[in-house]
Every structure is written in C-alpha cells, then in structure tokens.
Amino acid sequence: MTVHILALVGSLRAGSHNRQLAETAVRLAPEGVGIEVYEGLADLPFYNEDLDVEGAVPAAATALREATLRADAVLLFSPEYNGTIPAVLKNAVDWLSRPYGVGALKGKPLAVIGTAFGQYGGVWAQDEARKAARIAGAAVLDDLTLSVPGSVTRFAETHPADDAEVTARLGEVLAGLSASVTAPAGV
C-alpha cells in the first residue's frame, strides 16, 4: 500500500521557504509514502456560496476537492501573515469544507507545519490552520508539529533540505502522518 499525502502550501511565492519545506518533504517521504505538492491554489476564486452550486462549481475548486478526496492524508504548510493563516490556505480549507458535513477533508488525517520569519516560526498561523481544518471536518493530528522560526535568515543560504534539525523533525512528522493512515486513531 502506498500512502498518498496531499501537500497544500500557504505561500504562492516561487522562492517560498514553505514551498522549499514541502519539496523537502517530497524528498524525505518514507518508503511507501508519496507526497504531492498541489499546484492549483492560486487559481481558486475566493469561496462564495453563490459559486458553489451543483453544476457550476469552478474548475479550480473541483480539482482541489478531487485531489483531496484521492489523498489518504493532508499536510498543510503555513507561513504566518500578520499573525495569522494566509488567505490562500484559509480559502482552500473553505472550499474543502463544503458541501457542509461531507466536504473533502471530512475524517481525513491532517497535520500543519511551516516556517516563518518571526521568532516562533508561525505557530499562531499554524494553530489557526488547525482550528479551521478541524471545523472543516479533518482529523487534525495536534501532536505532529514543526514550526521553524527565523526563516529569512535561517534559510538565506541554506535550503531546508540541508538543515539537519529541520529534516529530522520533518521526517518525524511524515512518519506520524503516514502511520495515522495505516493505523487509524484509537488503534
């Protein structure tokens, strides 16, 4: 069995340290685990119930929902913008929360990690992302965390893949997330 993890990156910037962290996760994926970094978040319109009607759902939203439904688990990479979750990531969670009660995140194991410039590594944003994902129906794994502070200086000349502390902790998150799929909670 291959565990399929869908990675959603909350920064659209090409040189984003969170994107680099997601790319590192792809390289570090344990045997039997595949990680897909989703590339369509920039195409999502802002969530609007008037757009979310059967037969008229925007193609970008349908693609995100289908990719999430195909995944065994979801990994959110969240920077921190003005002390909270980036709009692009919150918007993705909003689209995935619908239809209400049966959205694509319902019951899906999910972890939130990331890096940010501040001294706490984006923990406020990551906490907000966990809260939103939980309300959207995901099975949020609160014990799987990774908040890397000082991203601008820490990764100025070093890629996250070359940071031993980051790769070790990221490996633990990936192992825990994949284990949550193969051994459901409560087992």
> Which contiguous run of DSSP H or E holds residue 166?
helix 164-182
Other C-beta atoms within 10 Å of 47: how many? 18
Residue 27 in any domain: the answer is yes
Residue 187 in any domain: the answer is no
Q: Which CATH number fits the domain that encloses residue 53?
A: 3.40.50.360
Residue 59 in any domain: the answer is yes
> 26 burial class (0-12, 13-18, 19+ CB within 10 angstroms)?
middle
Residue 174 in any domain: the answer is yes
How much is the pLDDT for 183? Answer: 63
Q: Residues with Cβ < 8 Å from 64, sequence gap 6 or more? A: 38, 40, 41, 44, 92, 95, 96, 104
How much is the pLDDT for 184? Answer: 53
Residue 161 in any domain: the answer is yes
Residue 32 in any domain: the answer is yes
Other C-beta atoms within 10 Å of 160: how many? 23
Residue ranges making up the domain that contains 129: 3-182
Q: d(Cα 28, Cα 21) in Å, to the nearest integer? A: 10
What CA–CA distances, in Å, run from 117 to 36, 156, 163, 172? 25, 11, 16, 23
How much is the pLDDT for 182? Answer: 74
3-state secondary structure (DSSP) of residue 97: coil
4 phi/psi in degrees, rounded to 5: -105, 115
Q: Tokens 């969240």 label which residue? A: 78
Q: Residues with Cβ < 8 Å from 78, sequence gap 6 or more? A: 10, 18, 85, 86, 89, 112, 113, 114, 122, 125, 126, 129
How much is the pLDDT for 187? Answer: 44
Residue 7 in any domain: the answer is yes
Nearest to 69 by CA among 112, 25, 102: 102
Domain count, the chain: 1
What CA–CA distances, in Å, run from 81 to 9, 34, 118, 151, 159? 13, 29, 10, 13, 21
Residue 58 in any domain: the answer is yes
Q: Is the full-model pTM beyond 0.85?
A: yes
What CA–CA distances, in Å, run from 144 to 11, 94, 105, 109? 20, 22, 17, 11
DSSP secondary-structure letter at 45?
A: P
How much is the pLDDT for 120? Answer: 87
For residue 19, give the amino acid letter.
R
**pLDDT per residue rounded down to tens, the chain (187 residues):** 799 999 999 999 989 999 999 999 999 999 999 999 999 999 999 999 999 999 999 999 999 999 999 999 999 999 999 999 999 999 999 999 999 889 999 999 999 999 999 998 999 999 999 999 999 999 999 999 999 999 999 999 999 999 999 999 999 999 999 999 976 554 4
